[in-house]
Amino acid sequence: MRLLSHRAGLAGSTPSGSRAGEVAQPKRGTPGTARLASLGLQRRRAISGGQVIGVQAQNSVSPGAVWPLPLAADHPLKPGQGGLSLACRSEITSLMFHCYRSLHAPQSVLRVSLLLTFLAFCACCHVCQSALAAPDPDRQAPIRPSQVKLAGWLQPRLIRNERSRLLAVDEGALIEGFRNRPGKQEWIGEHVGKWLHASSLAWAYTGDPKLLAKMERVESRLLLAQLPDGYLGTYLDKDRWTSWDVWVHKYDLIGLLAYYERTGDVAALDAARKIGNLLVSTFGPGKRDIIASGTHMGMAATSVLEPMVLLYRATGDAQYLDFARYLVHSWDQPNGPQIIRSLMSTHSVARTANGKAYELMSNLVGLCELARATSNLSLIRPALTAWRDIVANRMYITGGTSYGEYFQKDHYLPNEGDVSETCATVTWLQLNIQLLELTGEPIFADVAEKIIYNHLLAAQHPYKATFCYFTPLAGRKAYGPGLNCCVSSGPRGIALIPTIAYTLTRSGVCVNLYNSGMASLRLRSGRSLQIHQQTLYPMDGGVLLTIEPSGPTRFSLALRIPSWCPSATVQVNGGPKVNATPGRYHVISRIWRPGDRVALRMAMPATLVRGTYGNAGLVAIRRGPLVLCADEDLNPKLRPIALAGLAADAAAKLRRSRITGTGEVRPNVFAAPGFMLQRAPDGSVRRVPRTVYLVDFASAGAGGGRYSVWLRSPTAKSVPRMSLLAYGRESYSRQGNVNGSIADEDPGTWRVTYNGGRAAEDWYAVTATAAPVLVGRVLFMHGFSYHDGGWFDTSAGKPKVQVQTQLNGPWHTVATLDTYPATTATDSKALLPGQAFEAVFAPVRALSVRVVGKPACGDRPSQAFSSCAELQAFGR
């Protein structure tokens, strides 16, 4: 959970000082606190020690040049090390202010006052040993959101994130769980911290006074809920430190520290310190066990690692660093998740702890922060191991990762259903940003770009204030408002985008994202610099950079050449074109003068990607950083989309087409030759030529229709036998919170009935589109078994198959699912996702079919629910 806009540093301060959207006057504290506070968390961002990894004095460097990385020897910090704390900075500021006032006092008083001030200053410096900090190991330093302005493709998403989402969130809902303990959900307290984090970054970018006013109100109401001992959770006293309580405090810390960095409000830092002190006094050797106090093998609780390290960096208080070390050591307890040991032995995130993606990557982000705080780069080895495994075995073509919230077996990446939880998408982005900054390797920026332009933006509705919990590559996007973990995480990911666009290095600047706009920077030399960027990227590969230093200045400009790009050229001031190598930084080291121009031209041909493993027999089109997608709303002749395909020359003949298949005029639409598979009356299969209209994956499905990234390959010759209920009208006993389809011919997507309550029975029904149909065989496919339910409890009888023979008529039981296992309310008998159970009966003409059963509760008897992946019917 990266925050603080990646701790943007002094080297990147704005030439003209902070603007209105960056640092407000403090509401509390001594004079000057806000300004020092705004700088304090960014105090050591100047890069030290050697060249930027991945950037050499020559034109390019291989992304593999530092594998394995030259890792530093173990460098455990002694108490007090780690940088001049904000608290000490504020104290020194107060002393200086006192000294200034004493100059106007009588001479005798002046001498005493100056002596006392000097002694106090020396004492303060002694306490603040952290001024002599270990060098920051980052190879790339982020800039503050206020230093970059993005236009073009990304700007509407950033503005919508602030105006439509963050400004629209109900303040009362954010605080409800704290005001009326216990909260309605065990993790309800995370939302306010996530909101404060996202809002702090968004406000730093836009400077919107309305958002600042809202943050002030929310922060004030939150602090009123903090108890005298520092507790700021949503649990009753008897339930403290159980379930998700530490997790909630993690997000309290993240939100408060982000808000403090942006506004200088010392009350937020004070509240964060109280939380930190409470955690230190509660957990540790001889105290309460942190592993036993969190879910997912303790990973939810130990993920407080990240903000505890950030709290240490904000204050210089070594007890927080010691606590961070304790958290890492706790992983190796017998009941711990064994994160480092398992990753380094199995090299698999799926086989580490319980494979829960969000929580595991959150801990790795924290480990990166600990590596930064201690200058111990060996700590990032587990994160690098996890990264390699995810990219090689568990990453979608769109950059997302995980399925059903967990890392699955190698190459198991279903396209429909619970694809890439948005919480996991944002944390995966954060992990790539961390590794980019620590190593300087462009491959991490490549993956970050893929995530941003595809899976992250796809989770955000392009025109509304909603986000997806899961974002499948096929099916429908279930955008939702309100508050849940993913709807709260999505805005954080969007707000992080400006912080990766440009980064500072020891020798100059890296350009990591291409998007029209400008950046205002300050180089390590002290020279101010503006970079203006003009481009239609990602629709076009041409980029024009205008360099505006405050005067002639020597520095290195590093341009990321994406690995997807087959070729690229760079031209300075109209001079000769120089070839740039894909997958590397192209570095131009020279004396730059105001008005210098750099023209970058990246070839951006469309590529036909042939599917492997679960996508064998399917193809997709990728163009530049964008993955394209067929949307039924644009293709009325391609329904169902599951039977649509692309011609062999689809990529070569791809063309821009503002006119869709519906006659609608839309930007960013492409057309390619394709086909539909149809079964002739004699049973043979034929391909009917069709034009396939494609849009970027991030925009697909916005109208509520079905879509698919992967389409049938040009060699497809068979049509699978389809259910009589395929793509029919679905209904359920309860709506639930997982919005997969049960009639989409894909058992990889499912529906649940979970709503937090109990029910005597659950049912799933489908009405045939061509009703009535003659049905003699029904297949019910299990959805997913969760720890707290998701299956039928058959202790009182097997699930029943029922049919409806007339509109609004009664339901008739025609069979039972006798092969369904003998489950109980708490035992699923190891049901597998998509496992099928069949019922055969005398054919009956029916309008609708449904399956009825008793939901199970798993380990939470206060509720019960079931799940269904597919409900199919056949003649016999």
Whether 783 has a pLDDT exceeding 80, the answer reads yes
What does residue 272 show for φ and ψ, rounded to 5 degrees? -65, -40
For the chain, percent of residues with pLDDT exceeding 70:
83
- How confident is the prediction for the chain on average, in pLDDT? 86
Whether 332 has a pLDDT exceeding 90, the answer reads yes
**Highest mean pLDDT out of 132-146, 300-314, 630-644:** 300-314
pLDDT value at residue 679: 66
Angle at 394 between CA 391 and CA 395, to 5 degrees: 60
Q: If residue 249 lies in a helix (H) or strand (E), which one and from where to where?
A: helix 245-263
pLDDT value at residue 65: 29
Quickly state the pLDDT bin for 181 (edges 50, 70, 90): very high
Q: What is the mean pLDDT of residues 828-856?
A: 96
pLDDT value at residue 130: 37
**Highest mean pLDDT out of 78-82, 662-666, 673-677:** 673-677
Beta-carbon contacts of 660 under 8 Å, excluding residues fewer than 6 positions away, are: 634, 635, 666, 669, 693
Q: What is the pLDDT of residues 204-253, one digit of tens each?
A: 999 999 999 999 999 999 999 999 999 999 999 999 999 999 999 999 99
Could you give the CA distance from residue 244 to residue 300 in angstroms, rounded to a whole number? 7
Could you give the CA distance from residue 568 to residue 580 in angstroms, rounded to a whole number? 5
pLDDT value at residue 82: 35
Which residue, among 213, 194, 224, 310, has the nearest Cα to 263 in the 3D structure? Answer: 213
How far, CA to CA in Å, does 668 sit from each of 538, 629, 711?
A: 10, 12, 20
Quickly state the pLDDT bin for 719 (edges 50, 70, 90): low
DSSP assignment letter at 611: P
Cα four-point dihedral sign 588, 594, 596, 597:
positive
**Is 190 within 8 Å of 222 (Cβ atoms)?**
no
Cα four-point dihedral sign 286, 292, 298, 300:
negative
Q: What is the mean pLDDT of residues 813-833?
A: 96
Quickly state the pLDDT bin for 680 (edges 50, 70, 90): low
Weakest mean pLDDT among 265-274, 468-477, 747-756, 806-815:
747-756
Amino acid at 805: T
How far, CA to CA in Å, does 335 sit from each of 293, 295, 298, 558?
A: 11, 12, 8, 46
Which residue, among 147, 83, 369, 402, has the nearest Cα to 253 in the 3D structure? Answer: 369
Weakest mean pLDDT among 647-656, 706-715, 721-730:
721-730
Could you give the CA distance from residue 166 to residue 202 in angstroms, rounded to a whole number? 9
Residue 431 C-alpha from the chain's centroid: 9
- For residue 375, count CB atoms less than 10 angstroms from its CB and return exposed for 0-12, middle for 13-18, buried for 19 or more: buried
As given in the structure block, the two tokens for residue 407 are 């890392």
Whether 78 has a pLDDT exceeding 80, the answer reads no
Could you give the CA distance from residue 797 to residue 816 in angstroms, rounded to a whole number? 9
Q: What is the pLDDT of residues 755-765, one digit of tens each?
A: 999 999 999 99
Which residue, among 648, 642, 644, 685, has the nearest Cα to 661 in the 3D structure? Answer: 644
DSSP assignment letter at 786: B
Could you give the CA distance from residue 462 to residue 458 in angstroms, rounded to a whole number? 8
Which residue, among 722, 724, 710, 782, has the nearest Cα to 748 in the 3D structure? Answer: 782
Could you give the CA distance from residue 116 to residue 99 in angstroms, rounded to a whole number? 9
**Is 774 within 8 Å of 803 (Cβ atoms)?**
no
How far, CA to CA in Å, does 624 sit from each of 386, 406, 603?
A: 26, 29, 8
Q: What is the pLDDT of residues 615-625, one digit of tens each?
A: 999 999 999 99
Structure-token match 């505890």, residue found: 308
Amino acid at 107: Q
What does residue 3 show for φ and ψ, rounded to 5 degrees? -140, -170
Q: What is the mean pLDDT of residues 362-391?
A: 98
**Strand locations in 88-232, DSSP E?**
141-142, 148-150
Weakest mean pLDDT among 129-133, 145-149, 587-591, 858-862:
129-133
As given in the structure block, the two tokens for residue 526 are 């002290």
Whether 134 has a pLDDT exceeding 90, the answer reads no
Weakest mean pLDDT among 90-94, 561-565, 596-600, 774-778:
90-94
Peptide bond into 414 cis (omega under 30): no
**Is 188 within 8 Å of 174 (Cβ atoms)?**
no
Higher local confidence (pLDDT), 61 or 273: 273
Enumerate the β-bridge partners of residue 690: 674
Quickly state the pLDDT bin for 682 (edges 50, 70, 90): low
Q: If residue 729 lies in a helix (H) or strand (E), which one and from where to where?
A: strand 729-732
Which residue, among 228, 56, 126, has the nearest Cα to 587 in the 3D structure? Answer: 56
Q: What is the mean pLDDT of residues 355-365?
A: 99
Could you give the CA distance from residue 403 to residue 405 in angstroms, rounded to a whole number? 5
Domains of the chain and any CATH numbers: 4-51+66-85+128-503 (1.50.10.20), 525-602 (2.60.40), 606-712 (no CATH), 729-874 (2.60.120.260)
Beta strands 553-561 and 508-511 are parallel
**Is 287 within 8 Å of 99 (Cβ atoms)?**
no
Could you give the CA distance from residue 337 to residue 266 in angstroms, rounded to a whole number? 36
Q: What is the mean pLDDT of residues 713-728?
A: 81
What does residue 497 show for φ and ψ, rounded to 5 degrees? -55, -45
Could you give the CA distance from residue 524 to residue 475 in angstroms, rounded to a whole number? 50
Could you give the CA distance from residue 275 to residue 678 in angstroms, rounded to a whole number? 63
pLDDT value at residue 659: 81
- For residue 64, count CB atoms less than 10 angstroms from its CB and return exposed for 0-12, middle for 13-18, buried for 19 or more: exposed
Q: What is the pLDDT of residues 429-465, one digit of tens each?
A: 999 999 999 999 999 999 999 999 999 999 999 999 9
Amino acid at 822: A
- pTM here? 0.80
Amino acid at 702: A
pLDDT value at residue 445: 99
Q: How far apart are the first and last CA of the chain?
A: 53
Could you give the CA distance from residue 508 to residue 555 in angstroms, rounded to a whole number? 5
Cα radius of gyration (the chain): 29
Quickly state the pLDDT bin for 555 (edges 50, 70, 90): very high
Cα four-point dihedral sign 29, 32, 38, 42:
negative
Residue 402: count other Cβ atoms within 10 Å of its Cβ.
31
Nearest 10 degrees: CA dihedral of 462, 468, 470, 471?
-10
Cα four-point dihedral sign 428, 429, 430, 436:
positive
Could you give the CA distance from residue 569 to residue 603 in angstroms, rounded to a whole number? 9
Beta-carbon contacts of 141 under 8 Å, excluding residues fewer than 6 positions away, are: 8, 9, 11, 12, 45, 46, 47, 437, 503, 504, 505
Could you give the CA distance from residue 483 to residue 492 in angstroms, rounded to a whole number? 14
Could you give the CA distance from residue 627 to residue 606 in angstroms, rounded to a whole number? 10
